[in-house]
Amino acid sequence: MLVKRILTALVLATVIIGAVFQLTSLYFSVLIAIVTLGAAWEWLSLTNVDKLSSKIIFMLVLIFPMLGVTYWTVFLEVLSEAMEWPEIKDYSDALEWLVIAPVLFWLLAMILIRQASPQLLQAQIKPRLQAFIGWLVLLSAWMFLSKLRAYYGPEMTCYFLILIWVADISAYFVGKKWGKDQLAPEVSPGKTVQGMYGALGSAMLCAIGLRLYFGLAPLESEGAELAILMAIDILILSVLTVLISIYGDLFFSLVKRRKGVKDSGNLLPGHGGILDRVDSIIAAAPFFYAGIVLIGRSVYS
């Protein structure tokens, strides 16, 4: 089982990293949209939406905003290149403010899962609210991962993905080796506090590695102070992003436990469904994007 899981992960990682660097931002956005729609179909199954008409309506409500956001993003990217003013992406995109909603949602979800998991498992949640939650988290994950690739390039997108993957791997192996205190036993008994610390530690190493990759400014140089501040900002953002990703994983584990299933699907050998593979990314993408925007604006201010 572990071998199958590793092989599947390697294939998926190779395909995604290749897409990040080889596809244009538009085609990358289309690819992520396809993955998002597959995850949306699984969400509908997990939330007991069985009528085909209801599923089609949900998918259409998800697709139409995707088309609008894609048009707006491509328009701004072309305008930025034509005017030779790359900072236009930071100050002219009104859609950036939409990141506040998913960030607040995931912060609230983290608190509730930590403090009231048993109550969440037993709560009666209206179908419309479940549909709205699915729509919000899936659309925002697609939107801000696409915008990260379009506005901040393949290198930053690749860093984000590697950050989440390395954290996931670290949590698994550290938890297997030293895990003894369950993080959220009612939701996911296999996840431990020690595994979480392993993931957060890997986030720090990733941030340090990113700084080394871009090089360290000499302490006596003019930009040394700015480089140090940015390195600290990236370190903090990386750790917090991984923390959110852990609770994103727990959120979807809670949804699956309410449904009474182990996996969201069986499309991916050793991993289950699409949601089982991208749950951490769904939660982390808006948060990471918001952090990168804030860091960028502090630099230009």
pLDDT at residue 87, as a whole number: 54
Three-class DSSP category at 190: strand
Distance CA 13, CA 87 (A): 31
**Whether 238 contacts 159, CB under 8 Å:** no
Cα 91 → chain centroid: 23
Look over the chain and give the mean of its residue pLDDT values, rounded to a whole number: 86
Three-class DSSP category at 271: coil
**Whether 171 contacts 199, CB under 8 Å:** yes
Measured at the CA of 173, the angle between CA 172 and CA 174, to 5 degrees, comes to 95
Instruction: Name the DSSP letter for residue 217.
Output: P
pLDDT at residue 219, as a whole number: 46
Three-class DSSP category at 137: helix
pLDDT at residue 151, as a whole number: 83
Average pLDDT over residues 166-184: 92
Three-class DSSP category at 125: coil
pLDDT at residue 298, as a whole number: 63
Centre a 10 Å sphere on the Cβ of residue 298 and count the other Cβ atoms it contains: 12
Distance CA 34, CA 69 (A): 15
Share of the chain above pLDDT 90, in %: 57
Give residues with Cβ within 8 angstroms of 189, minimum separation 6: 182
Q: Residue 93: pLDDT band by 50, 70, 90 thresholds?
A: low
pLDDT in tens, 109-163: 999 999 988 899 998 989 899 999 999 999 999 999 998 998 888 999 999 999 9
pLDDT at residue 134, as a whole number: 96
pLDDT in tens, 220-266: 455 567 777 788 889 999 999 999 999 999 999 999 999 998 888 77
pLDDT in tens, 258-288: 999 888 877 766 667 899 889 999 999 999 9
Average pLDDT over residues 65-72: 84
Average pLDDT over residues 190-195: 93
Three-class DSSP category at 191: strand
Between 3 and 300, where is the model more confident? 3
